[in-house]
A and B are shown apart, each in its own frame.
Chain A
Amino acid sequence: MTDTSHPVERAALDWLVRVNDPAFDAWDDWQAWLDQDPLNATVYWRLATAEAEIVDAMAAPSRRSGLRPAREARRRSSRMWLTAAAAVLVAALFGIGWYGLMRPQPWLVETAPGEQRALELADGTIVHVAGGTRLRLDRRDPRTATLESGRALFEVAHDDRRPFVVEVGEVAVTDLGTVFDVTRLPDGARVTVSEGVVRVDLKGRAATLNAGDGVIARERGFERRTVAPAAVDAWRDGRLAYDNERMEVIATDLSIALGQPVSVAPELTDRRISGSLSVSGAPESVRRRLELSLDAKVTNNGAGWRIEPRAVP
């Protein structure tokens, strides 16, 4: 990948490298940078806490030695690093056990707004389900899933003889060995791939996606996207990452993440946004960060969100 990280992340990383030097003494400059933009502080502390956890884990003597079964470790590590977002790593270190905790009992998995769940299917495939999502599973056939609404990330246990298929309305997403994210849009589906290869079919039209590719599949056509593979599952820790994405699509993601409808003023639907949006925290701070990130006026009346052009001063 080329450089896709957010400028704020790059700046935060620069600061973190400097601050961690025992000889660092530019505390005033650092604080001034943090205060410049709430996003700066958010990103900085996210990286700083994750880095500190990593360093502590590495320094713990009981963990420094000891060989692990190589194959198992490798299998897991590739799984781990698709979740490369550092905050997710912190969650892994400190106890959100995603795997194996939830045996699939229901046929229909339905999450409340804001809720997230992880399921392990009988074939070893792991599905991370976003809030406000309906996902239909067939216990007799663990190689199919139907996304009726919302969003889910699939870590597919690959099987050449039995491809894993996700149906999203008219769109069929077929795994060819892989980790991918599927979101149901009002008029189609978006698929992004962080590992492996996926085929997307819609009424005779097909696209093959590799890691870092994305597509918005609608009846009127396919729109290609490029994504940072590491950002594909960032929504699981309350971040939505974009590279030049349309506001209309972002609004769909936001409504899933925030658990409330999000509407966009017509003149903004086609505006393009790059960067990462943080949607965790108190509604007012989410609102303020969104305004900064989207360069728009964002309001929340308690029942829903509205994105409008910024008033001209």
Chain B
Amino acid sequence: MSLPSSTQAAGLEAVFHALRPELERRARAMGAADEAEDVLQDVWIRVQGSRGPIANPRAYLFRMVYTGVLDRRRGRLRTSAREAAWVRDAASAVDPATSAEAERALIARETLAAVEARLEALGDPAAMIFRRHRLDGHTQRRIAEDLRMGLSTVEKHLRRAYAALLGLEGDRA
């Protein structure tokens, strides 16, 4: 790439400013409600730190908003899970600090082991496609080209992997 990254980043910043009202509207539509401002603030910080050429800045910014909203939802889930756990610990009056923390760490590890096992049980190519797509960040088109598969086949494998990981057992589509 010939353009220095600062120029590209500046370009993205300009697009951000131009699209700001729309980005905020989208954050609200995604359910961010009164946190929409905060989501945009996060996006702005990430825009400033972003490097490299961006083919479609508009879609790129929409994705950043989406990720920001998703992260906030996840944060809320964690908070309420922590609070619920705290209430339970307090109610149980059983040495909460040590046993509960250790237990939770164990559960987290084993949940992960179960997740990995689920993926392995599914086998390749679905497991491999899922890892490339979600862990390595390859686009579905690129994976399709590499594996000489149709895009819809890649999508189908991904769908199976998601259904397995999310425990949507009945899913056959």
CB distance from A57 to the nearest CB of B (A): 5
Number of interface residues of A (CB under 8 A): 71
Contact indicator A89/B167 (Cβ below 8 Å): yes
Cβ A68 vs Cβ B85 within 8 A: no
Give how many B residues have a beta carbon under 8 Å from the other chain's beta carbons. 61
Q: Is the CB of B109 within 8 A of A63?
A: yes
A57 to B134, CA, bound (A): 12
B18 contacts across to A, CB distance below 8 A: none
- A206 contacts B by Cβ under 8 Å: no
Which residues of A sit under 8 angstroms from B114, Cβ to Cβ? 73, 76-77, 80-81
In contact, B173 and A58 (Cβ under 8 angstroms): no
Interface residue B99 (Cβ < 8 Å from any Cβ of A): yes
- CB-CB contacts of A253-264 with B at 8 A, as 1s and 0s? 000000000000
Whether A96 pairs with B115 at a CB distance below 8 angstroms is: no
Number of A-B contacts defined by CB within 8 Å: 193
Docked-complex contact A95 and B110, CB < 8 angstroms: no
Q: Smallest Cβ distance from A38 to chain B, in angstroms?
A: 10
Residues of B within 8 A of A13 (CB): 159, 162-163, 166, 168, 171, 173
Q: Which residues of B contact A35 (CB under 8 A)?
A: 29
Chain A residues within 8 Å of B139, by CB? 21-23
CB neighbours (8 Å) of A22 from chain B are: 63, 137, 139
Residue pair B73, A54 in contact (C-beta under 8 Å): no
Q: Does A101 contact B (CB under 8 A)?
A: yes
Given the interface pairs A13-B159, A17-B162, the reply to whether A49 lies near B73 with Cβ below 8 Å is yes
Which one of B63, B73, B135, B167 lies within 8 Å of A85 (CB-CB)? B167
Known contacts A23-B140, A49-B77, A103-B92; is-contact A1 B167 (Cβ 8 Å): no
A53 to B167 Cα, complex, angstroms: 14
Q: How far is the CB of B166 from chain A (nearest CB, A)?
A: 4
Inter-chain CA distance A26–B169, complex, in Å, is 28
Nearest CB in chain B: distance from A147 CB, A = 21
Chain B interfacial positions (CB closer than 8 Å to A): 26, 29-31, 56, 59, 62-63, 66, 70, 73-74, 77-78, 81-82, 84-85, 88-89, 91-92, 94, 96, 99-100, 103-104, 107-118, 133-135, 137, 139-141, 155, 158-159, 162-163, 165-173
Additional A-B contacts beyond A76-B110, A86-B166, A94-B77 (8; CB < 8 A): A2-B170, A3-B172, A5-B163, A48-B70, A48-B73, A80-B111, A80-B114, A100-B99
Cβ contacts A to B, 23 pairs, < 8 Å: A3-B170, A5-B169, A10-B173, A22-B137, A27-B26, A27-B59, A34-B30, A45-B70, A58-B134, A59-B135, A66-B109, A81-B118, A94-B78, A94-B108, A95-B82, A97-B85, A97-B89, A99-B103, A100-B103, A101-B88, A103-B92, A117-B88, A118-B88
